[in-house]
Amino acid sequence: MGSVNKPDDEEGWSKQEAEWHDSLSIEEFVDLNMLSSYGVQDEEDAQKLKKLRESYEAATALIAGEYVFECWECDGRGAIEVIVDEHGLSQEDCSDCNGEGVQYVDEEEAAERIDGGYTPLRTPSA
């Protein structure tokens, strides 16, 4: 497709969702738009929808027990400022999230964060 049709973070899409959307073939993109506009009209549409859902789930699924939270260290920016010398600062990828801006945690860590008032960005899909 190309980045013209790639949803961005301002639309509330995760990186995985945007990558899935951008990976759609022209036919899949047209099918997705038609199904969104007109719904399922027949068995062929139902099969197209099923295929798109399976593709989406495979691209965005979390491992059972895995939660995603905004990175605490960089506040979700993916980078932190470090002192280079007495004259300036520099930006570096956050080592806590490897520059992604998010952290993947298990159920135990997620429970602690949720109890502390943090809301996960994503939760396991089953």
In the chain, the largest separation of any two C-alpha atoms, in whole Å, equals 68
Whole-model pTM? 0.47
Mean pLDDT by 10 residues, the chain (126 residues): 42 72 90 88 90 80 73 89 83 88 87 87 72
pLDDT for the residue 25: 92
Pairing verdict, β 79-85 and 102-105:
unpaired
- Is residue 120 within 8 A of residue 114, CB to CB? The reply is yes
